[in-house]
Amino acid sequence: MSQETIFSKIIRREIPADIVFQDERVTAFRDISPQAPTHILIIPNKLIPTMNDATVEDENVLGHMMVVAAQIAKNEQIDERGYRLIINCNRDAGQEVFHIHMHLLGGKSLGKLIS
Ligand code: AMP
């Protein structure tokens, strides 16, 4: 049984968050500690702790997260200039919240991928 995180409470709207999009499969909200002018997290409503836990059954929701990210980038008017999508997995990547989340970062020049 996977352990729920604070993100499950955000999905259920039990704690405040700046939710920019939600449907039956995913929720997207602004990161509480933004690293760029636009910093939004896109998460599956289903709890998947890390990328290592993703299965073939999750392909649909994982693909949907990317399509939603692109739509949000358009809404944020960062699609033409560009943006970056990141999913951190486990310790070396610095994953802090064990509920898969895709970071959508943009609104400034983001530099090289790894600094
Ligand atoms: P990661 O290091 O990939 O696990 O990223 C976790 C992200 O979640 C960080 O960028 C945090 O700032 C963000 N975060 C943690 N708690 C909240 C929250 N309650 N609302 C919004 N973002 C959060």
| CA atoms of 40 and 70, how far apart (whole Å) | 12
* pLDDT per residue of the chain (115 residues) written in tens, 0 to 9: 689 999 999 999 999 999 999 999 999 999 999 999 999 999 999 999 999 999 999 999 999 999 999 999 999 999 999 999 999 999 999 999 999 999 999 999 999 887 6
Residue to mutate, 18, 31, 103, ligand 1, most ligand atoms under 8 Å from C-beta: 31
Which residues are tagged catalytic?
101
| CA atoms of 10 and 66, how far apart (whole Å) | 20
Q: Which domains does the chain have, with CATH numbers?
A: 6-106 (3.30.428.10)
- The ligand 1 atom at the shortest distance from the C-alpha of residue 31 is 22
Q: Rounded to two decimals, what is the model's pTM?
A: 0.97
**β-bridge partners, 115:** none
Q: Whose CA is nearest to atom 17 of ligand 1?
A: 32
Tokens describing residue 98: 């064990």
